[in-house]
Amino acid sequence: MRIAILLLLIVSLLAPPSSHAADRVVAATLDNGLRVLLLEDQRSPIVSFQVWYRVGSRNEHRGSTGIAHFLEHLMFKGTPSHGPKQFARLVEENGGQDNAFTSQDVTSYYVDIAADKLDLVIDLEADRMQNLLLDPKAITSEREVVIEERRTRTEDDPGGFLGEEVSSIAFKAHPYGAPIIGWMDDIKRVTPDEIRAFYKTYYVPNNAIVVAVGAFRAADALEKIKKRFGRIPRGKVPPPMLAVEPVQNGERRVVVKKQQAELPIVYMAWHVPNQGSDDAVALELLSTILSGGRASRLYRDLVYQRQLALEAGGDNSYFSIDPNLFWFWATPMPGQTPEKLEAELSLHMERLKTEPVTEEELARAKNQIEAAFVYQEDSVHQRASLLARFEIIGGFALKDSFLAKIRAVTAADLTRVARTWFAPDKKSVGVLLPKS
């Protein structure tokens, strides 16, 4: 969960808002279904150009997990007109930075580059949306890279390993239970044909969002995007993901021993609704009250006052497409047991159900979320990412109502939401035990 903690910080910075921000977004849907969001930001001569595909590990099946992420790697392996390695080379020799990530819900590619290179990036991204080589030899060697990545992130990382185990017991039916990077045997097995079929199915303009923020004229940029991406034919509507996670009946638990671990870790996870529910913003606030900074409950009590934990926190997945998990975690200090920390985390959860949070806690959490929105406005990359995240869950304009929803939450709402969602017999618990 250390990765998740880091990402919590990153993603909170993605929050934007200034009520005026969305007003200036130029939004269009091309004839082939490609969604385009453009926002002018003339402060520096730079642009962040991002392509988000509505496909992630959520769209995978048993036996071929990790295919979305594997494909993300292969998107850098060339097309007939831009051969292997040309993508990175062209971007770097034009002073740009590029990368990509795969999540449960999306696969996202970005190039941050000087604004006068926008044509180049549009050309590269449009090309690989349609013409990826997927050469079997490249797949063979990249498979080994992905396997190494899995070793780094999961096999040799106790926190990553435990997180994967907990997700897999929390979800019985829904693909969120499988790791984004895939199970090792699936990574080893998946065939070039399956990857090609996955690409053909999901990498179609009507399943993608192009977002750009930076120093361009939106009308010009839109014309360029239409000209280049507009040529790509609309694809079939990708198959819907139909799995629904049944209600959890009874606590689930996994205990993992890792020889290389120095300290135990405790994870607790509850199923919570996604942003479509009125409870979602309250869960955001709960997560902030529990672990947003050193004045937050878990830090102040478990880390600071009683020194039971080296770190502790809680994390909600607000932008999740389907209902996902609300996580609690703690790393016990040497001499403390995971049992003790699990009991303490449970007490905090119970307290949320019985005592309203204080006015100060609620106001602080609201102010923290609001400030994070303002900080995010400082970077074109973050501005673009946030527009895309809201677009994925229903429309970029949702970002303007998000803060109003946050402000409307009361202490009584938090109590009700905690009682509704955090039943003791509906949790999944993971414990990592170190050597000896």
Partner 1 sequence: MGARVVLRASQVGRALALACAVLLASFMARGPAGAAPLAHREVLPNGIVLLVAERPAVPIVAVRVLGRAGAVYDPADRAGLANLTGAVLTRGTAKRTGPELDSAIEFVGGSVEAGTGRDTLIVSMTAQKKDLTLGLDLVSEVILTPTFPEAEVARKVSEIQAAIKRSEEDPGTVAARALGRLVFEGHPYGRPVEGTRESVARLTRDDVVKFYRERARPDTTIIAVVGAVTVDEARREILARFGSWSRPADPPATVPAASAPATVREETVKRELTQTTIMFGRQAVGQTDPDYFPMAVGSYALGGGSASRLYTRVREESGLAYAVYSWVAPWRLGASFAVSAQTRTAEAPKVIAMIREELARMGREPVAERELALAKQYLIGSFPFRLDTSGKVADFLVATEDRGLGLDYADRYKERIARVTAADVQRVAAKYFAPASFNLVIVGETK
Positions in 350-379 near partner 1 (CB under 8 A): 360, 363-364, 367-372, 374-375, 377-379
Give how far the C-alpha of residue 258 lies from the chain's centroid of Cα atoms, to the nearest Å. 27
* Part in contact with partner 1 (CB under 8 A); list of ranges 3-11, 24-32, 198-206, 220-228: 3-11
Residue 413 in the binding site for partner 1 (CB under 8 A) = no
Give me the phi and psi of 269, to 5 degrees please.
-140, 135
Residue 262 in the binding site for partner 1 (CB under 8 A) = yes
Q: Smallest distance from the beta carbon of 250 to partner 1, in angstroms?
A: 25
Q: Smallest distance from the beta carbon of 109 to partner 1, in angstroms?
A: 9
Residue 260 in the binding site for partner 1 (CB under 8 A) = yes
**Which is closer to partner 1, CB of 193 or CB of 378?**
378
Beta strands in 305-408 (DSSP E): 309-315, 324-332
* Part in contact with partner 1 (CB under 8 A); list of ranges 216-224, 228-236, 327-335, 345-353: 327-335
Give me the phi and psi of 303, to 5 degrees please.
-85, -50
d(CA 310, CA 111): 37
Q: What is the number of alpha carbons within 13 Å of residue 132 lying toward its C-beta?
A: 24
Q: Which residues pair with 136 in a beta bridge?
A: none
* Listed residue (317, 268, 248, 277) closest to 413, CA to CA: 277
Return the SS3 of 65: coil
Return the SS3 of 159: helix
109 in Cβ contact with 75 (< 8 Å): yes
Give me the phi and psi of 135, to 5 degrees please.
-70, 130
71-130 positions binding partner 1, by CB under 8 A: 72-73, 76, 84-85, 88-89, 92-97, 99-105, 112, 114
Given 125, 315, 391, 413, the residue binding partner 1 (CB under 8 A): 315
Residue 191 in the binding site for partner 1 (CB under 8 A) = no
* Part in contact with partner 1 (CB under 8 A); list of ranges 188-196, 205-213, 330-338, 416-424: 330-338
Q: Smallest distance from the beta carbon of 152 to partner 1, in angstroms?
A: 6
Given 52, 216, 229, 327, the residue binding partner 1 (CB under 8 A): 327
d(CA 243, CA 104): 14
In the chain, the N- to C-terminal Cα span, in Å, equals 22
Residue 149 in the binding site for partner 1 (CB under 8 A) = yes
Q: Smallest distance from the beta carbon of 29 to partner 1, in angstroms?
A: 25
Residue 339 in the binding site for partner 1 (CB under 8 A) = no
* Parallel/antiparallel/unpaired status of strands 46-53 and 35-40: unpaired
Q: Smallest distance from the beta carbon of 427 to partner 1, in angstroms?
A: 18
Given 239, 240, 259, 436, the residue binding partner 1 (CB under 8 A): 259
162-181 positions binding partner 1, by CB under 8 A: 163, 180-181
**What kind and span of H or E run contains 367?**
helix 359-376
199-218 positions binding partner 1, by CB under 8 A: none
Residue 7 in the binding site for partner 1 (CB under 8 A) = yes
Amino acid making up residue 25: V
